[in-house]
Chains A and B, each alone.
Chain A
Amino acid sequence: MLDALTSPRFLRAALPAASFAILLAAIFYVQPRAMSYFGMNLMLQYTVPIALATIAQMFIITVNDLDLSIGPFVGLTACIGATMLADTPLLGLVALAACVAAYAALGALIHLRNLPSLVVTLGMSFVWLGIAVLVLPTPGGTAPGWVKAVVGLKTPYVPYPIIAAVAIGLVVHLALMTSSYGAVLRGAGGNPRAIGRAGWSLLKIKMVMYSAAGFFGVLSGLSLIGLTSAADAHIADRYTLYAIAGVILGGGEFVGGRVSPIGAVIGAMTLTLTGSFLTFLKISPDWQIGAQGGILIIVLALRALINRREG
């Protein structure tokens, strides 16, 4: 039993949750009033869009690629959500569907031409931003009422963002980690050649993963405007790095198809909490990003230690 609890495999899986718990405990210690329904709701309300963007990034990382455009893409879908979707819902839905289709096409392009995803998505990040500025030149717009209603749900006892995050994690876990096609999708990250030799289409796999990323990017943009009620082309620029950091904090690895949806959601929550924690410590916002980086480094160093023990 003790063996199982100290095995590298278990420690690796438990590290994201442990980091989150330690951070939460530190926050409650510094600021006991945060330990309430209202406090948690406030601290974690931006978890949902970040968690969705993190899941989107995780799909891309699963197949050994990296998406540097998820932030601007979320910004674009937020802009579409706050304009077209609110004014002419049908047109808005078509536009969002086109966004997802564009992601699938990117996946196909990257696979067929054997392009580095970094370059393609870095380029696309400017394209998304440009389109977003065209759609909504100045900050504004209004989120559709139903989006606000869904995002603003009040749940008894447990704050809504936590329930939503758990639900997101579980749904994606079921789809990617326990379904039979999910195993094939992850296998494509671990050993693409083996998957190809077993007769699966790698093109289809890439397209599935990229469209899943696009779909979750759309959800992230919509949930974001649900919270802010207006949009701006630059609203989610930071999400690109948050999403990568969230996946890695959650136990994912850049190559090899080793990812964990539940870990990614916890990673996103940890990142959101870090901001609150540093505010409670009265650290000037100028230092916050650096401090977030510091926490990231500590967690990754712990993981490296676990991995070394394993080797």
Chain B
Amino acid sequence: MTASDGTIVSLENVAKHFGAVRALDGVDLRVDPGMCLGLVGHNGAGKSTLMNALAGILAPDRGVMKVHGHDLTDRYSVAVAGQNGIRCVFQELSLCPNLTVAENARIFHPSLTGWGWKRRAGDMIAGKLDEIFPGHGIQPDDIVGDLSIGKRQMVEIARAFTVTDASLHLVILDEPTSSLDAVTSKQLLDFVRVEVDQGLSCILISHMLGEVLDYCDRIVVMKDGLVVAARAGAEFNRDTLVAAMGNVVEMEEIEEHEAREWQRGKTPVAVEAKTDTGNDWAPFIAHKGEIVGLAGLAAHGQTRMLLKIYEAAMRGRKTATVSGPVALVAGDRQTDGIFHLWSISRNIGIRSLRGMVRRGLIDPVAEAAMGREWQDRIKIKTPDMNDNILSLSGGNQQKALFARALASDAEIILMDDPMRGVDVGTKLEVYDLIRDEAEKGRTFLWYTTEMDELYNCDHTYVFRDGAIVADLTRKELSEEKVLQSSFKESA
């Protein structure tokens, strides 16, 4: 087979098994030039495995892999992928935090050597950042570890689009917008559209179905390691897409919640706080049993507010009034959430150790019982709760973190954008759980960068530059209002 029909990559019957787990079970996929291909499916459906195979990190167990018409199945590797112009932006960031932005760009390009490489690498990455994310505020000599998670993701994305010697044909984006706010997400997706119209191809893996529906020419739905649907983007709508993914939960449940809106102020105040800026439009108040949203662009003081409340509760600081014990569900689960070396049960039990102590030691029976209880309640998919936490998929790890908070004695649960990169099914399950717990009297403070999640909240505060700039009831809440407040010119 020598003549190529222009296809960039084609996979035939590709399979990859990890022990008994069939991550890929015979997948066919074709990417043509100038195509934006959306890839959706639950966590654990095999999307990331498929991407790793395309990137040359995992060698498939069987199947045929052709790049530009050449059969490369047996000699495919990261380097070969790079030579053929195939790049990946991974879900977990793959930048070196100790290096500068420019140095990270160099790592991608073996040919960037010799005198002045730093300046050339810096110019290249800065140019690409300007092109994709105008007004990004990132300098090439910034140390990556000092940047916020959103900016790191911008660097990572821009890096994937930089070109030196090998020409670029296909960029695979895995959850590229999970740490970006609405504006930068749109900048990215618009950029992708422009590049695709000029002949580049993209694979967009995303849980934001709106993004996939709006920007992709073709949508491939995966489930249990198989492709279950592959059609032109225009043939799908939100409902059919969710149905194809095998999600039977109705999206209308959120609407129903509206009807049960809390009569704000009928229960006692659980949390009262102000930001340090002194520019708050209103104080931050949460009543018992309420779900309160913290909205706005990413990293505009929402996490700081949550930490402030956390410190007030845990360390007795007088910076905020908190009525009861709190628990925090971390958003950056790899750094702030899970204990990598511990079992799932132990990861869940850590917040409740005080109740599980017998004769000065942790009671293993109580710990296992708590693990089992929450495995059932929150549906953590694992054969054994004593397995290491890293054996779980990302969404299930996040469930374990929710279980940790909900299993504790905390009356107030702080959530620091915990749904990053979590699939729709898991999200809906967790939303239900949150509403149930709120009805039982727990208070939830929920920082989220996703508009859809705010509709689960009874009340929403919008943050900008560290201060509260809007105070919206459920009825007043709309995407337009939140965006408007997020970008209001400061007087």
Q: Measuring CB to CB, which residues of chain A are less than 8 angstroms from any residue of chain B?
A: 9, 178, 180-181, 183-184, 186-187, 189-191, 193-200, 256-258, 310
Contacts and interface: CB of A to CB of B under 8 A. Distances in A.
A180 B114 CA distance: 7
A165 B114 CA distance: 26
Contact of A190 (B77, B98, B113, B117): B98
B78 A197 contact: yes
A191 B110 contact: no
Nearest to A188: B96
Contacts of B112: 180
Interface string B102-113: 011011101011
A197 B96 contact: no
Given A256-B145, A257-B98, 6 more contacts: A9-B143, A180-B117, A183-B99, A183-B103, A194-B96, A198-B94
B113 A180 contact: yes
Contact of B94 (A180, A189, A191): A191
B96 A191 contact: yes
B225 to A, nearest CB: 23
A193 B108 CA distance: 13
How big is chain B's contact interface, by range?
Answer: 20 to 34
A216 B104 CA distance: 27
Interface of B: 55, 57, 77-79, 82, 88, 90, 94-99, 103-104, 106-108, 110, 112-114, 117-118, 143, 145-146
14 contacts: A9-B146, A186-B96, A187-B103, A190-B96, A190-B98, A190-B99, A193-B94, A194-B94, A194-B95, A194-B107, A197-B94, A198-B78, A199-B77, A199-B82
A256 B94 CA distance: 14
Q: Which 7 A-B pairs have the closest CB atoms?
A: A190-B96, A190-B98, A194-B94, A187-B96, A183-B103, A257-B98, A199-B79
Nearest to B142: A9
B49 to A, nearest CB: 15
Contacts, number: 69
Nearest to B88: A197
A213 to B, nearest CB: 19
Contact of B98 (A184, A187, A196, A199): A187
B98 A186 contact: yes
A190 B95 CA distance: 8
A254 to B, nearest CB: 12
A190 B145 CA distance: 10
Contact of A256 (B79, B82, B88, B97): B97
A255 to B, nearest CB: 10
A190 B94 CA distance: 10
A32 B117 CA distance: 47
B107 A200 contact: yes
B97 A183 contact: no
A71 to B, nearest CB: 27
B146 A183 contact: no
B113 A187 contact: no
Contacts of A197: 55, 57, 78, 88, 90, 94
Contacts of A178: 118
Contacts of B55: 197
Nearest to B90: A197
B367 to A, nearest CB: 29
Nearest to A257: B98
Nearest to A255: B98
A181 B107 contact: no
Q: Which of A186, A189, A195, A198 has the most CB of B within 10 A?
A: A198
A292 B90 CA distance: 46
Contact of A191 (B77, B78, B97, B143): B97
A214 B172 CA distance: 41
A60 B151 CA distance: 30
Nearest to A194: B94
A56 B106 CA distance: 25
Nearest to A259: B98
B273 to A, nearest CB: 20
Contacts of A195: 96, 107
Contacts of B113: 180-181
Contact of A187 (B79, B88, B90, B99): B99
Contact of A258 (B77, B94, B98, B110): B98
Contacts of A194: 94-96, 107
Contacts of B146: 9, 310
Contacts of A198: 78, 82, 94, 107-108
Contacts of B77: 199
Contacts of B114: 180
A189 B117 CA distance: 21
Contacts of A183: 99, 103, 106-107
Nearest to B104: A187
Contacts of B95: 191, 194
B59 to A, nearest CB: 14
A195 B145 CA distance: 16
A285 to B, nearest CB: 39
A24 B210 CA distance: 64
B344 to A, nearest CB: 23
A257 B78 CA distance: 23
Contacts of A189: 98
Contact of A186 (B94, B99, B118): B99
Nearest to B116: A180
A200 to B, nearest CB: 7
Nearest to B79: A199
Contacts of A257: 96, 98-99
Contacts of B103: 183, 186-187
Contacts of B78: 196-199
Contacts of B99: 183, 186-187, 190, 257
A58 to B, nearest CB: 13
A194 B106 CA distance: 12
B31 to A, nearest CB: 20
A200 B113 CA distance: 14
A190 B97 contact: yes
B118 A187 contact: no
Nearest to A310: B146
A257 B96 CA distance: 9
